[in-house]
Amino acid sequence: MKNRRGLSRRELTRHLGIAAGIATLSPGFAIAKAIEATPAQVEGPFYPVIEQADKDLDLTRIKGHSQTAAGEIILVRGRVFDTRAQPLKNVLVDVWQANHHGRYNHPEDKNPAPLDPHFQGWGLIRTDADGFYNLKTIKPAPYPLSAVSESGWRPRHIHFKVSQPGFEALTTQMYFRGDPLIAQEAELQRLSEARRELLISDATPDAASGLPLFRFDIVLTTA
């Protein structure tokens, strides 16, 4: 059954949370609470600066290339909401990430790991009429912080920059459940456990393709 905002009872329940107020979903899905904005994360030094013709939702293939990107292919899907649990259409979802070897296609990345000439690495996606976005990509590798003149390692993650007129622009990151490096990630450890959970996603098999599917919903605040 749908309510007047177009959300099913199950969707609304998982966004508003139950009892303790923690947002939940069926096993394997991390969800942002609709009454609380998605936590911001630093943009990092590797936002794309090299223009590319192909910035579609499939990062595993580059237009004109016969080969696909190296690594484990995954799907990332989610919805963008406001803090009233209203889905937002036509939101720009800007995503970028490291490749299967842990390197960005960026001139400032000092990581000696190889570039992947068949990995798109950057995509620009718009949400549909119900606030959904879809992304096909590879699971990024962790990489040494020596790539940015520091010690230690960064966990696997995907960067998101989300913008819509009338709302505060949000830059954040999605992390992968089970990554042991999450415990060392300073940006995450500054958050409460409940807010940290909003940025960590589990995998479930996608019914259509069988690929690992990671759910990452995003909540924006009004400007």
Q: Which pLDDT score, from 0 to 100, does residue 150 have?
A: 76
Let me know if residue 168 belongs to a domain. Answer: yes
pLDDT at 15 over 60: no
Let me know if residue 25 belongs to a domain. Answer: no
- Residue written as tokens 């995907």? 158
| Residue 198 domain boundaries | 36-220
Q: Of these residues, 103, 157, 175, 215, which one is catalytic?
A: 157
Instruction: Kindly state the percentage of the chain with pLDDT values over 90.
Output: 80
- Tell me what the mean pLDDT of segment 94-115 comes to: 97
Let me know if residue 3 belongs to a domain. Answer: no
Instruction: For residue 140, give the nearest of 87, 104, 170, 108 by alpha carbon.
Output: 104
- Tell me what the mean pLDDT of segment 13-39 comes to: 51
Mean pLDDT estimate for the chain: 88
CATH, residue 54: 2.60.130.10
Q: Of these residues, 79, 103, 133, 143, which one is catalytic?
A: 143
Let me know if residue 7 belongs to a domain. Answer: no
Q: Which pLDDT score, from 0 to 100, does residue 169 have?
A: 98
Contact 105, 50 (CB under 8 A): yes
**Catalytic residue list contains 133:** no
Taking only the tens place, the pLDDT of each residue in 142-191 is 999 987 777 899 999 999 999 999 999 999 999 999 999 999 999 899 99
User: How far is 32 from 25, CA to CA, in rounded Å?
Assistant: 10
Contact 203, 64 (CB under 8 A): no
Contact 100, 116 (CB under 8 A): yes
Q: Of these residues, 14, 79, 103, 104, which one is catalytic?
A: 104
CA angle 132, 187, 167 (to 5 degrees): 40
Let me know if residue 9 belongs to a domain. Answer: no
pLDDT at 48 over 60: yes
Taking only the tens place, the pLDDT of each residue in 111-156 is 999 999 999 999 999 999 999 999 999 999 999 998 777 789 999 9
Helix (H, G, I), strand (E, B) or coil at 36: coil
Q: Of these residues, 15, 103, 106, 154, which one is catalytic?
A: 154
CA angle 205, 129, 168 (to 5 degrees): 95
Let me know if residue 129 belongs to a domain. Answer: yes
Give 18's pLDDT tier (boundaries 50, 70, 90): very low
Q: Of these residues, 14, 15, 156, 159, which one is catalytic?
A: 159
**Catalytic residue list contains 175:** no
**Catalytic residue list contains 118:** no
**Number of domains the chain contains:** 1
Q: Which pLDDT score, from 0 to 100, does residue 7 have?
A: 47
| Structural tokens at position 136 | 């096909």
- Residue written as tokens 């911001």? 40
Kindly tell me the burial class for residue 103, based on how many C-beta atoms sit within 10 Å of its own C-beta (0-12, 13-18, 19 or more): buried
- Tell me what the mean pLDDT of segment 55-60 comes to: 98
**Catalytic residue list contains 154:** yes
Q: Which pLDDT score, from 0 to 100, does residue 29 have?
A: 52
pLDDT at 33 over 60: no
**Higher per-residue confidence, 69 vs 18:** 69
Helix (H, G, I), strand (E, B) or coil at 217: coil
Let me know if residue 28 belongs to a domain. Answer: no
Let me know if residue 126 belongs to a domain. Answer: yes
Q: Which pLDDT score, from 0 to 100, does residue 155 have?
A: 97
Within a 13 Å sphere around the CA of 96, how many CA atoms are in the beta-carbon half? 20
